[in-house]
Amino acid sequence: MNKSEIIDRYFQEHRAKVLDIAAFLDRVDRSEGSTPDFRIEAMQTCIQELLTDEVGRTERILLLLSDPSVKPIESAGTKGASGAVPPAE
C-alpha cells in the first residue's frame, strides 16, 4: 500500500483512538486530587515521542513503557501490571 492508501484505510480508526486518549486525559484533569501519577507522566512522554518524525516510534514507546530490569523481584506489590514503569523507591 502507498501512503495515501494507508491513510484512507486507517485514518478513521486512529482518529477515534486519539479522541479516546484526549477524553481520558480530560477526565483525569477534571478529577479531584493533584498527586502526580507516573502512568500519566509516562503517557505524556509517549505523546511527545509520537510527535517526532523519526521511524521507530513504536519501539521507542514500548521501551519507555517497559520495565528494563532483568532481575526478578521477590514479590509484587500489586496483583497486575501497571502499564508503565513506576519510579524507583
Domain-wise residue ranges, the chain: 1-32, 34-64
Q: Measuring CA to CA, how many Å separate 49 from each of 15, 42, 43?
A: 18, 11, 10
- The model carries a pTM of 0.81
Residues 83, 89: Cα–Cα separation, whole Å: 17
| Residue 85, all three cell numbers | 514503569
pLDDT tens digits, 30-76: 999 878 899 999 999 999 999 999 999 999 999 999 988 888 878 77
What pLDDT is attached to residue 82? 82
Residues 10, 16: Cα–Cα separation, whole Å: 10
Residues 29, 33: Cα–Cα separation, whole Å: 9
